[in-house]
Structure 1
Amino acid sequence: MRIQFLRWLGVAVVLAVYLTPDSGFAQSGWLKFRPGSGVTLESYKGDFKHLTGISFMTSVWFLSGEFKMARDLYFAVEVPFSHFDAKSEYDFTAENLLGNPYFGIRYEKETSGGIFRAGTRLPLISPESTKDYAMYYGMMTTLDRFESFVPELFTLSAVGGYKYMSPDGIAIRGLLGPVLFMPKGEDKELWADYAVHLWYQNEAVTVGGGVAGRFLAAAPYADHIDFGERFANRLELAGRVSLGVLSPGLHLQIPLDSDQREEIRSSYGLDLTVAF
């Protein structure tokens, strides 16, 4: 099992460096259809093609919060966590890994208007970490926040855009912004993140989705990659219901990049927001 894992870990690292469709925006902005203060718990499981024998409890979790600082301005924080356990004839000890935390700000109106987010993800994971399985599962399953589980990777990100809200509850938003990868002792990489989402919302339900992706803008190896191969996209779908201050929901991400689809078919899970 260890040999098979190392093989797939090597594939994951290659995909991460060259082709990962990580929408970034550093934090789970795509699930945040409505601005406001609150705490959100997200769970993710991956539908892998080749990784078998993992337990049902294997999963990735994100605990995040947004806290109002001023009108339409929020402070955002997020803590990622990965749990990996496997069914094996060998003695296997389950692994738990605390990922790289995110801190940032968010500006967004409840109605139509501009959107701005900026933040950083701190390199909490040590290169000496022995939680290889949990690290691998976290990297491959979180299609939109891959950097949450990369050791010694410091990131800075910003995104701007616009949201239009119709009187009938139909909304559309477009987002675009840079993400700077600064791995310790390695060359920096500059990516451009983009997304377009369409959704419907009323007092009881929110449902929508869209396409998001990442473009490799600058890196020492960028000239060796065809222009079209610098793009990597994915489909995002989500829905939730409003039960007072509680908003349970579900979400699905499907990679559109053919290379990544060779490893993982989709990432899916549940989420719960408590508003205040």
Structure 2
Amino acid sequence: MSTARLLQPKSHRIGAGFQADGLREPLELLDPFIMVDHFRMSEPVFAPHPHAGFSAVTYLFDDSAAGLLSRDSLGGQHAIPPGGLHWTVAGRGVMHDEYPAAPGRETHGLQIFVNLPADQKLRGPAVMRLGPEQMPHSAGAGWRAVQVFGGTSGLALPTAASLSIVDIDGGAQFDWQLQPGEQGFALVVQGGGQAGELPLSAGRALSLPEGGHACIAAEAATRLAVFSGRPLREPVVRHGPFVMSDEGQIVAALQRFQTGGMGRLSPRNTPNA
């Protein structure tokens, strides 16, 4: 891969309470990311579920009308406010549940799966969090950025990856330069414009090769979710909520889940939920 290209996320819905545009392929262009969903959720649509072999990351945009609540089998119960980040390193396995803090009010954010290196697939699970006031800000001529994770953000990440939210004024430009050895993609959350000869519009993503550069010219007020990372280029075997290095690890993860090795998490409608 030597040039920039456009990626088109696929839309999916779960009932009336969840809709998302998701990037899941081509995996070699997303690496070290496995999946990114740009979602809007107004009702709890997910039951408690397991994760293993990757990091499950939630970021809420600052325009989200409400926050989320996150529970896990480590005993954590955390509020994710608009503009906040919740990072669950699933490792060998954890049970997880996430739902709107105020049903009926729309939450707006990103659900991100970040692969774990092969030597960390079976590490113990852990949770990291950042509030919006903890995230570094930067600005240039006609643009402003928030470093959500990676870069100068304050989290010790298990994978070399970063996310910035970049707002560009209409008529302004943003120069996006990747570091040597890193590839990335910029998801257009709203607005649009041009990256050279490539047209950008809401819902599309611009993919850049390692060390690539793009000058993004915004025709109207534009918001980008800019992802970058050092590709792992390791074998990936996916089975539902598990992302492992080989089939044997998948079988072992299923056994841990079925026998309670990933912990237990009661449904929300029980007294101890």
TM over 0.5: no
**What TM-score comes out, normalization by structure 1 length?**
0.29
Which structure: greater helix fraction? 1
**What TM-score comes out, normalization by structure 2 length?**
0.29
